[in-house]
Chain A
Amino acid sequence: MALIPPYLRELQVEIQGYADGYGLSYFPQVFELVDYRQMCEIASYGGFPVRYPHWRFGMEYDHMIKSHTYGLSKIYELVINTDPCYAYLLEGNSQVDQKLVMAHVYGHNDFFRNNHYFSRTDRRMIDVMANNAARVRRYMDRHGVNTVESFIDTCLSLDNLIDPWLSFRDARNQAPASTNAPDAVDDDRVRLQNERTYLEDYINPPEFVESQRQKQREKREQVKHRNPAQPERDVLGFLMQHAPLEAWEADVLGILRGEAYYFLPQMQTKIMNEGWASYWHSRIMTEKALRDDEVIDYADVVSGVFASAPGQLNPYKLGVELYRDIERRWDEGKFGPEWDRCDNLEQRTSWNKKLGLGKAKIFEVRRLYNDVTFIDEFFTMDFCREQKYFTFAENRRSGRLEIESREFQQIKQKLLGALTNFGQPFIYVVDSNYLNRGELLLGHRHEGSDLKLDYARDTLRNVERVWRRPVSILTQVDEKPKRIRFDGSEIGISDEPEAFKV
C-alpha cells in the first residue's frame, strides 16, 4: 500500500474543492493506491486491513480473485466508515476512472458522517478490528486454531440476530419495564371505553372485568420471573450475558457482535448510500470535473454502474433516481396536501411552483432516512411508472422468472418487504428458562415468509452449542405454528397451539 502519487493527489485536491463547493461535509479523506490483489484482500476483509483469521475471508478472496482474473467483475473502489475516512484506489485504472471513484467516495464519506443511522458507529473501527484480531490470535495460540475457529463459525451463524435499534434505545431502556406498572394502567385496558355511565354495567359487567383482571394478574405473575421480561431481539447480546461461556468464548462472541453492529447501518442504508454517492459523482463529474476527451470513457463506466439488467434491482440506479426525483419535486413544489389532492393530469404535468427547495430536501433526506423509510416515503406511483418497475416471480410450471405485475401497491410492498430488517427474519429470545428446565426458547415473528428449514436446523444446533441446553424456536411452517427443538442429539418438530407474536 502506498500513498497516492502526486498526479492523483492533485486530482484529489480538485475533487475535494468541488465537493466543498456543493456543500458536502465529510471526514478527512485518505486515499491509498493498491494493486488488484491487495484490493481483493482488503475487500474480502470488508475494507479493513486487519481482521481476525478466518477461512471465510479466504473464501471471499478466492471468489474475488477468480472473478477478477476472468474479468467477470472489477472492484473499482472501496471505502470504509472511519474517521479519517479511508478509501482504496485500484492501481492501473485510467485517470477518468480514478476521478469518478474519488467523487463517488466523497459522496459516501459525506453520507457516513451525516446519516443518522451511522451516528452510533465507532469511527475508529480500524483500530478496534486490529485489536480484535490480536485478541482472537492470542486465543488461537492458547486454545488451538480449530477450537477457536469452530467457535467463530458458531457465532457467525448467529450474527444476524441483532437488534437494529439497540444503539438508539439504550437511554430509554433504563426505564422500568412495563410489567411493573401499577394496576390502574391495566384496568383501562380491561374496560371498554364508555361515555354513558348508565350503560356501564352492561358494557363492562363487573364479574367480567374482575375475571379479566385476574387473568392479567396471573399473566403478570408468570412473566415476572421470566428472563427476558420482554422478547429480546439482541439475541447475541443475550447469549453473551446469560450463556454459560468461558471467558474467551464470551469475548469472541462480543467481538463478533460488535463487528456485526458496526456493519449494520451499511445494510440499512444500501440504496440511500450508493444512491447518494452516485448522485454526487454524477454531478461533480458532469458539471465540473469531466474534460471533453473523457466523456466517452466516463459514459461507458457509468452505464455499467447504473445498468439494470432485467430481473435484478440495482441499488445504485434506484437510489440515484430517487434523489433526483426528490430534488425535482421539491424544486417544483410537487409535494404536500395540495399536490396529493390534485388529480388533474394536465395540472400535474405542468405543475411548477419554482420553490427551489430540492437541494435542501435531499440533504435532509440523507441525514434522517434509512432505506425503509426512504422507499416508503419517496417511492411514489409516478416514480414507479416512470422508472418501469415491476414485480417478478418464478413460474412454477416453466421454472423461469416472469414479470408478475406492474401494480404500484404490489411493487412497493414487495420492495419494502425485502428491505425490512434487510430481508432477515425477526428472531427474539422469548424465554431463557423454558418449561422451567433452563431451555432457551426463541421466537420467529412470522411476516409472511417461512424460515429456510435446513438452515434453521443447522443454526439451531449452533445456538445449542452456545447455550449448552436444549433450544427451541417458535415459527410457522406452511401457515401452521410449529416449534423446532434441538436437544443436543436430535431435531424435533412439534405443533404449537398458537403462533408466536410480539
Chain B
Amino acid sequence: MISRIDKDHSRFREIVRGKIRQNLRKYISRGDMMSRKGQDTVTIPMPQIDIPRFTLGGNQKQGVGQGEGEPGDPVGGGDPQQGQGAGKAGEGEGDKNLEVEVTLDELAAILGEELGLPRIEPRGTQSLDTKKDRYVSLRRTGPESLRSFKATFKRALRRQVASGTFVKDLPIIVPIREDRRYRSWRTDPRPQSNAVIIYMMDVSGSMGDEQKEIVRIESFWIDTWLRSQYQGLESRYIIHDATARVVDREVFFRTRESGGTMISSAYRVCSELIEKEFPPENWNIYAFHFSDGDNWSVDDTATCINLLRDTLLPACNQFGYGQVESPYGSGQFIKDIRAAFPSQPKLVTSEVTGKDDIMDSIREFLKGGR
C-alpha cells in the first residue's frame, strides 16, 4: 500500500514540477547548469511555493538573543530563525526559500513535455552489434562455481554403467575428473540502434561572448534531451573558425577563440568524421551547426552547400543550423542555405536573437522528431 505521505509527497513533487515548467525559460537560459550531467542534481531556488498569509513584514530583521557581547558586536549564526540547536525538530520556520533538487534528466523530461516534443524514434534498420553473454553450452573445464551437477552426474553414470562398476542394488555414483562438466556461455550479438550527435560551433572573432553562451546553452539542452531519449548516445564536438577541429565536450563548452570564418572547414571535418567513425547505415546521425552566419566568402558558402547536398544531408537524420544574431555578422549564411534547399525536410534552420529564444529554437530543431 502506498502510504498517505507518499501521495502527499508526490503531489508536492508535481507542484514543484509545475512551477519549474512555468519558469522553464528562466532556468533554461541559466548558464551554470552546463557543468552537470545526467543523474546529477540541479538545485533550483523556488521562492513562491509558500502559502501567503497576512503576516508582519518587519522593516528590519530583529529579535532577542542570549549570550555574551557588547552592543554593536555582530551576532553569529546569521539567520535568527533557523534551527533550534541540535536535537529538536526545526520549529522555527525560517524563510521558506525552498530549494528543490531535480536531476538533469528530470529537467530534460519537463522540457520535453513543455515543448511538446515527440519522442525521437530510432529510425530505419541501422543496427550495431553489441554483445550479450548467454549460458547455453557445456565444457570440460571451468570454475567449480559453474559446475553443472546434472550433466556431471549423467557423465559419471554413463561411465560407470559402461565400465561395469555400477551396482544396481547399491547405486553409488562417484564422478571423477573426466566426468565433470561446466556451464559455458556464448556471446550473442544483439542489435541496437545507435545515434550520434555532432555539434559544430563557430568560434570566430565575430561571435561575441553572449553568442557563444547562447550556442552553448542551446547545444547543452539539445544534448541533454537527446541523451534522455537514447541509451548510449555518442556526441562529437567540432569548433571552427577558419579551420576546424574535433574537440572534447569540455573544450567545446569552454573555448574562446577568434579568427576568420570558413564554415566549409567544419562541414568537411564533419563529413570525414561520419565517414570514418559513423557509417550512416549503422548510425542515426544528428548534426547541429551554430554560427552567426557570417561566412568568409561566397565561394566558401558554395562549397558548404555542395558538402551539404552531397554528403551531409544524405548521411544525417537531420541537419540543424542555428544562427545567432550578432552585431558584427551579416547573417547571410542562413539565407543562402534556405535558398539552396527550399524544401529539404532534413535541414532545419532557426534564428536565435537572444537567450529568451533558446526555447523556441530548441522546439524548431526537435519538433520533427526524426
Residue A393, interface by CB 8 Å: yes
Contact with A along B40-61 (1 / 0, CB 8 A): 0000000001011111111111
Q: Provide the residues of chain B in CB contact with A392, threshold 8 Å.
A: 62-65, 75, 80
Q: Are B53 and A58 in touch, CB under 8 angstroms?
A: no
**How many angstroms from the CA of A304 to the CA of B84 in the assembled complex?**
9
Contact-residue size bin, chain A (C-beta under 8 Å from the other chain)? 35 or more
Residues of B within 8 A of A440 (CB): none
User: Which residues 54-113 of B have a CB within 8 angstroms of A?
Assistant: 54-92, 98
**B18 vs chain A, min Cβ distance (A):** 11
Q: Assuming A312-B80, A393-B62, is B54 touching A160 (CB within 8 A)? A: yes
B63 to chain A, nearest CB (A): 6
A133 to B, closest residue via Cβ:
B4
Distance (Å) between the CB of A478 and the closest chain B CB?
9
Q: Once bound together, how far apart are the Cα atoms of A160 and B8, in whole Å?
A: 23
Q: How far is the CA of A158 from the CA of B51 in the complex (A)?
A: 9
* Cα A160 to Cα B51 with chains together (Å): 11
Q: In the complex, how many angstroms separate the beta carbon of A390 from the nearest chain B beta carbon? A: 6
- The answer, yes or no, to whether A241 is at the interface (CB within 8 Å) is no
Contact indicator per residue, chain A 40-54, by CB within 8 Å of chain B (1) or not (0): 110111000011011
Q: Assess the B5–A391 pair: CB atoms within 8 A.
A: no
Task: Report the stretch among A107-115, A287-295, A417-425 that lies at the interface.
Answer: A417-425
B54 touches A73 (CB 8 A): no
Q: Given A310-B66, A393-B60, are A402 and B73 also a contact pair (CB < 8 Å)? A: yes
Partner of A393, one of B51, B52, B61: B61
Query: Which residues of chain A are near B9, meaning CB under 8 Å?
Result: 58, 61-62
Q: Are B62 and A451 in contact (CB under 8 A)?
A: no
B56/A452 in contact, CB under 8 A: yes
> What are 28 A-B contacts with C-beta separation under 8 Å?
A44-B5, A58-B10, A59-B98, A62-B13, A73-B83, A73-B89, A160-B54, A304-B85, A306-B85, A309-B76, A309-B85, A310-B66, A312-B81, A387-B66, A389-B64, A390-B67, A391-B62, A392-B63, A392-B65, A392-B75, A402-B72, A403-B73, A403-B74, A403-B75, A418-B64, A450-B57, A451-B55, A456-B54
Residues of B within 8 A of A (CB): 3-5, 7-15, 49, 51-92, 98
Decide if B86 touches A405 in the complex (CB within 8 Å): no
CA distance A56 to B53 in the complex (A): 14
The number of residue pairs between A and B whose CB atoms lie closer than 8 Å in the complex comes to 232
Known: A270-B91, A449-B59, A452-B58. 11 other contacts (CB 8 A): A44-B8, A45-B5, A73-B84, A159-B53, A160-B54, A160-B55, A315-B91, A390-B69, A423-B56, A455-B52, A455-B57
Would you call B87 and A76 a contact (CB within 8 A)?
yes
Whether A308 contacts B60 in the complex (CB less than 8 A), given A55-B12, A160-B54, comes out as no
Partner of B57, one of A158, A418, A453: A453
Q: Nearest Cβ in chain B — how far from A454, in angstroms?
A: 8
B8 touches A54 (CB 8 A): yes
The reply on A381 being an interface residue by CB < 8 A is no
* CA–CA, A391 and B72, complex, Å: 11
Let me know if A43 and B60 touch, CB within 8 A.
Answer: no
Contact A311 B77, beta carbon cutoff 8 Å:
yes
Interface of chain A, helix or strand or loop or mixed? mixed
Residues of chain A within 8 A of B82, CB atoms compared = 312
Q: Is A313 an interface residue (CB 8 A)?
A: yes
Given contacts A388-B66, A404-B71, contact A455 B61 (CB under 8 A): no
With beta carbons under 8 angstroms apart, the residue of A43, A51, A53, A312 that contacts B77 is: A312
A57 within 8 A of B: yes
State the CA gap A403–B51 with chains docked (Å): 32
Is the C-beta of A486 less than 8 angstroms from some C-beta in chain B? no
Q: Which residues of A contact B (CB under 8 A)?
A: 40-41, 43-45, 50-51, 53-59, 61-62, 64, 67, 73-76, 149, 153, 156-161, 270, 301, 304-318, 387-394, 396, 400-406, 411, 414-415, 418, 423-425, 427, 444, 449-459, 462, 473
Quick check: B57 and A311 within 8 Å, CB to CB?
no
Name B10's closest neighbour in chain A (CB-CB). Answer: A58
With A309-B85, A312-B65, A389-B64 as given contacts, are A451 and B74 in contact (CB-CB < 8 Å)?
no
Task: Report B-chain residues with C-beta under 8 Å of the C-beta of A406.
Answer: 71
B237 to nearest A CB, angstroms?
36
Bound Cα distance A459, B51 (Å): 9
| Nearest CB on A from B285, distance (A) | 42
CA–CA, A73 and B92, complex, Å:
13
CB distance from A491 to the nearest CB of B (A): 13
A391 to B86, CA, bound (A): 23
Q: Are the C-beta atoms of B57 and A313 separated by less than 8 Å?
A: no
> Assuming the A-B contacts A58-B10, A403-B69, are A153 and B75 also in contact, with contact meaning beta carbons closer than 8 angstroms in the complex?
no
Indicate the member of B7, B68, B75 with the most A CB atoms within 10 Å.
B75
Q: Would A157 and B52 count as touching, CB distance under 8 A?
A: yes
Bound complex: CA A457 to CA B55 (Å): 11
CB atoms of A58 and B12 under 8 A apart: yes
Q: How far is the CB of A277 from chain B (nearest CB, A)?
A: 11
**B69 to A310, Cβ gap below 8 A?**
yes
Q: Report how far A455 CA is from B95 CA in the complex, Å.
A: 13
Q: Is there an interface contact between B85 and A308, defined as CB atoms closer than 8 Å? A: yes
Q: Does B15 lie within 8 Å of A391, measured CB to CB?
A: no
Given A414-B63, A450-B56, also A310-B75 (CB < 8 A): yes
Give the chain B neighbours of A403 by CB distance below 8 A. Answer: 65, 69-75
Please give, as numbers and ranges, the residues of chain A lying within 8 Å of B68 by CB-CB distance.
310, 388
Cβ contacts under 8 Å, A449 to chain B = 56-59
- For the complex formed, measure the closest distance between the CB of B14 and the CB atoms of chain A, giving whole angstroms: 8
Report how far A73 CA is from B88 CA in the complex, Å: 7
Are B66 and A390 in contact, CB atoms less than 8 angstroms apart?
yes
Is A455 touching B63 in the complex (CB atoms < 8 A)? Answer: no
